[in-house]
Amino acid sequence: MPIASDRTRRARPLLGTFVEIEVAAAGSRTNAAIDAAFDAVAQVHRLMSFHERDSDVSRLNREAGVRPMRVHAWTFEVLEAAVEMHRRSGGVFDVTVAPALQAVGLLPGADDERAVVPGPCVGDAIELLPGRIVRLQAPDTRIDLGGIAKGFAVDRAIEVLREFDVPAGLVNAGGDLRVFGAAAHAVDLRDPRDPLRLLARIEMAGEALASTARRFDLMEGSSLGASAIINPATGEPAAAMIGATIRTSSCMIADALTKVVMISGTGAGDLLEHYEASALLIAADGDIQITSDWSQAVHLAA
């Protein structure tokens, strides 16, 4: 006889990955709640995709360097967070690195003959005006919200589930995840040096978690590839860290902070403290460092 479960789990391909939603039983509206949460994730994709021609991001990249443009409230909220993160990180977090990502083939549309020159910092390049109006200071400025929008989508999905009075659950978008409710969750973290190996088990309750690492392609052998995170100061892939996992209350903030610590490593301590975030870092030499406020909740594999 099958064992009855008081939890419902579903997954859909969204945001370039699989998004999984698991909820505790919420009565007759459980399926409606999950559908609405998936719809919120899909809307974030439509608004902030670099690839979709009609997204806010694509429209800004085509036109906002010539004339100011109004964007959706969610897009404006993410841009506000990006500008704030840029300011507090001393320019390390920068959504105007799209040309450098194009040059290494991580975004479409690169001109192979054009040398990539790091653009102006996001605080100077993006002007946010009342009424959700955005202006790019130069016609050739290009933004990519891939380093922050996935976490925002997770936060929005959680918000929707709570609106449906779902008591507890989890939203996981390819490693950017957030849990809510009183119950604790155990999350297994893969070793970025070998995705087939478990690095740690992390205990979570009412928190968000985001991880990033250098690229790994089983078809190319066991060696790690270059990072998909660009250091805006050099226009080159980040090299200081192999992997980073961040825990804080907002998945959007955790998502963005992983990019900062992949570039700055332990130099991001003050920024982590400001956002009340914890970190697990794996340096290029394999050294593992965990912030002291998180050490008891992270159990490294033997």
State the binding site for Mg(2+): 147, 255
Listed residue (207, 177, 178, 201) closest to 188, CA to CA: 201
Between CA 82 and CA 88 the distance in angstroms is: 10
Write the DSSP string, 193-252. Answer: TEEEEEEEEEEESS-EEEEEE--B-GGG-SSB---S-EETTTTEE--SEEEEEEEES-HH
**Pairing of the two strands 288-290 and 278-283:** antiparallel
| Sign of the dihedral defined by the CA atoms of residues 54, 55, 61, 64, in that order | positive
Q: Which helix (H) or strand (E) holds 58?
A: helix 56-63
Between CA 298 and CA 189 the distance in angstroms is: 10
Q: Which helix (H) or strand (E) holds 190?
A: strand 185-191
Binding residues: 147, 255
